[in-house]
Structure 1
Amino acid sequence: MHHTRIDYLACKDSPVHRLDSRTKLIAAVVFTVFVISQGQTAVSMIVCYAVWPFALLIVGGVPLRFAFKQILIVSPFVAVLALSSLFYDRTAVDVSFGPLRFGATMGMLRCVSIIAKFIVTMAALIGLVATTRFGDLLNGMAKLGMPKILVMQLGFLYRYIFLLIDRAEHMLRARAGRKLRNLGMKRELKTASSMVGSLCLSSLDMAGRVNTAMQARGFDGEFHTLTEMRLARNDLFYSLALAAFLAALGFLGGVI
């Protein structure tokens, strides 16, 4: 998820982009809590929750292909956890999905539930980051009472992790251009360890240069933005729409 692509999407104009960052941040947290609180076998309800984040992605002009690509990048970590649940509980259950009925196990339902929750919550997170300038998001966090040092660390992490990634890519490209044959496992590990050490040293040197440049420009620990944070009528409508959506799904879950 390169920051230039995210910044490009966050600078677009849409009804979602024009919402206050605090409103979108609180809404994303509340929505995530509701999704995670669903039962381990409530797959049908989780599918219903998916309507909200994907609708926001469409309204916000965020390509669904981009969103699914980012989800796939981090999916292996969750897939390992989800697949392991297949072996924990093999109790047979009958599953009905509309007119379809088939047999399954509790482990299978939990596996599908974990993956579904991951996709829905990741879609909500991508919708938040891709429709909000990161500076505005940090400013919103600070306004909501998040510790200043944590806001500062998040800002540094977001901006400068990509410098480290670019540096690592340059090293890998240079190594690939100079590698003429397979060196064997032992020498490959030795070369990789040397590259990691060189990357750590260069990152420390880069951090020193960044710190010097920031001090020379008068950085005082605050991230200043030109955007005026002000709650508007659209923020109220957005909050009410989310509350109505969650209430409707809660009622639907009680009926089902």
Structure 2
Amino acid sequence: MISSWLDPYRDGKSVVHRTDPRVKLVVVLALLIIISLTPAAFWPAYVAYLGTLMLLIALARLKPVDVIKRSALALPFALMAVAGVLAVREGYPLVTVPLLRWQIIITDVGLYRFLTVLARAWLSLLLVATLIMTTHFTELVVAMRGIGIPRVLTAIIGLMYRYIYVLIDEAQRMMRARDARSAEVDAAQAGGSLRWRAQVTGHMVGTLFLRTYERSERIYQAMLARGYAGEIRMLR
């Protein structure tokens, strides 16, 4: 598959790579709890967490830029989730932001809370990205089972991860087919207007969703035919 870039570091030989996946998973969960329970605006603690993470990344022989890029993929979703924190009425007003017919007043308390939640989210994403980049996903699923996470949940996570590759390959084939049908001599004008591109992209997303649904039904029927009874048995 073309999508091997998802796991460029999983075969490393560092101390972090060789550590038992169960130990890494328990440590990560403990650190996530500690980060989430750290008081708001207690910046020295967050700086210490970041320094610890950078040391861990160095021990794992990872490129910090790559880890930051991985964590940044989910950062927009975290921003959308915590944006409402800025609208709290407590504290001293700092700035007023007009939004259509309303005005959002950002206070010092709201800003501190927003930055605190954002720091927690980013540190958590860095931690999870480091774990994923230093552990084979199959070993990670087995470690989840070993610490008592329900088998149904681990089965869903395992299937979801495996078929990310399938979906990416399917999307890449659809994009190549689109490019082959919209080529022009002038590459800058190839593909039509922005509206046309948006329509084609929407159709591609809908088609990919339908293909995904149909493929999932076929896969489930094939699993039942091979004796699946609610548990996926691991060989590792």
Counterpart contact for 1:86–1:108, Cα < 8 Å: yes
Q: 1:83 to 1:203 in 2, by over 3 A?
A: closer
Equivalence for 2:154: 151
Which residue matches 1:29?
29
- Overall identity of the aligned pairs, in %: 26
C-alpha deviation, 1:192, in angstroms: 4.6
RMSD (Å), alpha carbons: 3.1
161, 165, 181: which one aligns with 1:162: 165
Question: What displacement does 1:114 show?
Answer: 1.6
- TM-score, scaled to structure 1: 0.70
After superposition, the Cα gap between the structure-2 partners of 1:183 and 1:137, relative to the gap in structure 1 and judged at 3 Å, is closer
2:74–2:125: 8 Å Cα contact kept in structure 1? no
* Residue of structure 1 equivalent to 2:235: 224
**Structure 1 residues 85 and 221: alpha-carbon distance in aligned structure 2, compared to 1, 3 A threshold:** closer
**Within the alignment, does 1:52 sit opposite 2:52 as a pair?**
yes
Cα gap change, 1:106/1:170 in structure 2, threshold over 3 Å: closer, same or farther?
A: same
1:164 deviates by 1.0
Q: What letter corresponds to residue 24 of structure 1 in structure 2?
A: K
Contact between 2:87 and 2:110, CA under 8 Å: does it hold in 1? yes
CA distance in 2: counterparts of 1:184 and 1:50, whole angstroms: 43
Query: 1:129 aligned to 2:138?
Result: no
Instruction: Report what 1:201 is aligned to.
Output: 210
How far did 1:211 drift? 5.8
Aligned residues: 212
Residues 24-45 of structure 1, C-alpha deviations (whole Å, 9 max, x = no match): 1011011000100112222332
Offset at 1:9? 0.9
Which of 108, 128, 142 is 1:105 aligned to?
Answer: 108
Q: What displacement does 1:202 show?
A: 2.4
CA drift of 1:81 comes to 3.9
- Tell me by how many angstroms 1:162 deviates: 2.3
Pairing 1:168-183 to 2, within 5 Å after superposition = 168-179=171-182, 180-182=191-193
Query: Partners of 2:209 and 2:79 in 1: how far apart?
Result: 30
Q: CA deviation at 1:206?
A: 3.6
User: Distance between the aligned counterparts of 2:42 and 2:119, measured in 1?
Assistant: 10
The answer as to whether partners of 1:82 and 1:112 remain within 8 angstroms in 2 is no
TM-score by length of 2: 0.76
Q: Which residue of 2 aligns with 1:228?
A: none
Partner of 2:67: helix, strand, or coil?
A: helix
Structure 1 unaligned regions, length at least 5: 94-103, 226-256
Q: Which amino acid aligns with 2:208?
A: L
Say which structure, 1 or 2, has more relative contact order (CA 8 Å, 6+ apart): 1
> 2:76 aligns to what?
76
Cα 1:43/1:173, change in 2 over 3 Å:
farther
Quote the residue 1:63 is aligned against: 63
- Cα offset for 1:46? 1.6
Q: Deviations over 1:42-75 (max 9, x none)?
A: 2332221222222111101121111111122221
CA distance in 1, matches of 2:121, 2:3: 22
